[in-house]
Amino acid sequence: MSGSLQDEYIKKESLFGAQNYSPLSVVLERGEGAYLWDVDGNKYLDMVSAYSAVSHGHSHPELVNTIKEQAEKLSITSRAFYTEPFADFLESITKITGYENVLTMNTGAEAVETAIKAARRWGYFTKGIKENKAEIIVADGNFHGRTTTIVGFSSEDSYKDGFGPFSEGFVTAKFCWSGCSLEESIKSFKSKINKNTCAILVEPIQGEAGIRVPDKGWLKELRKICDSENILLILDEIQSGLGRTGKLFAYEHEDIFPDGLILGKALGGAMMPISAFLSSKEIMSHFNSGSHGSTFGGNPLASKVATKALELLYKDSLIENSKILGDYFISALKSIDNKIIKEVRGKGLWIGMELNKSKINAKDLCLMLLNEGLLCKETHKSVIRFAPPLMISKDQLDWAINKIIRVISSI
């Protein structure tokens, strides 16, 4: 949907902004709950949720009030001083998650970098790995962020092109997906282990790769490997965590507990950027004054909002809603009888619909859905991700399902 006003803003962004994104042609102005409106007043149902960041809905009244009240009192001091909001946030998140210590940053990528630092220091100072020899095993198809260190261990060439040289210390094993069975994947991880291995770092479900859900039991087997080999298991739940998959964390589907957990996105209630690395006192004890930090990390404003966002996960029954409506949504999409659909997969309200090769690719379908009032985004040309705010209602979801069926049936 494009008009003169929208065209004006699109031209400005194209003229003055770096072209590191390829947005759909809609200029959004405001949001409320599960809906967004463009500058021309057209209304859309949000099926992207800022890549899982908008779990509570847009402009949640309690979060808006929290940010107003705290902004009027104190926004930032830096960690050179103690603050009440940060202390309360630490207490809240440790009680909810069961982890002993937390190190807060701002973005997901920063939290991943923090996890890498923590794993390496543990490897050197606890496990006794020789200096500068520590290795971390990652999975192919991973997406953990955009820093040069992180893209350096990505298996996606486009993320790395022109950004080298990259950091050493990472080896890649096979994710349990698409032709790689659980047994083959575990064998691949085992084959990468040596005396310098300090951690395995994976996503429990690969989001950017197209909502790739590994076989049941995969995480449990990784947990066994790490226990037997004295290796840390670190999970990146920046997208999958905080209710997105129908449980507080995706790893709970496997009834395990990782040594380290990385959170971001929805932690800030779609209001403030805040991320965190959570672990044990033993692992975190290797951080000392001056060893790591962030000017904005743990600032009072973000801390206050994050504390409220955690509270609302339960008060608004977002985790339960994600489970119930996620199962319903997946079932409805799987029932669509059309040869263009190759597979529907996911957990909770985090769903990937993969298309068969045809003249219509995923971005084309997203544009068609845009014209029907649905905001969706493709990944890797062949998969559409559906990730609405976790507070979405069944009536809203039924409306979306009817639009999806209508568009696919028209092809």
Phi, psi of 102 (to 5 degrees): -135, 140
Q: HSE of 83 in the Cβ direction (CA atoms, 13 Å)?
A: 22
- C-alpha neighbours within 13 Å on the C-beta side of residue 94: 15
Where in 249-325 does DSSP place strands (E)?
260-263, 275-279
Active site residues per annotation: 143, 236, 265
Do residues 32 and 270 lie in contact, with contact meaning Cβ atoms separated by under 8 Å?
no
Q: How far apart are CA 323 and CA 319, in angstroms?
A: 6
Structure tokens, 164: 């080298």
Beta bridge mates, 235: 202, 261
Q: Work out the angle at residue 202's Cα, subtended by the Cα atoms of residues 268 and 294, and round it to the nearest 5 degrees.
A: 40
Kindly tell me the burial class for residue 221, based on how many C-beta atoms sit within 10 Å of its own C-beta (0-12, 13-18, 19 or more): buried
Pairing relationship of beta strands 101-105 and 135-139 according to DSSP bridges: unpaired
Per-residue burial over 134-151, b = 16 or more CB atoms within 10 Å of its CB, e = otherwise: bbbbbbbbbbbbebebbb
Cα–Cα distance measured from residue 225 to residue 218, given in angstroms and rounded to the nearest whole number: 11
Three-class secondary structure assignment of 334-376: HCCCCCCEEEEEECCCCEEEEECCCCCCHHHHHHHHHCCCEEC
10 Å CB burial of residue 95 (0-12, 13-18, 19+) is exposed
Listed residue (386, 290, 313, 403) closest to 344, CA to CA: 386
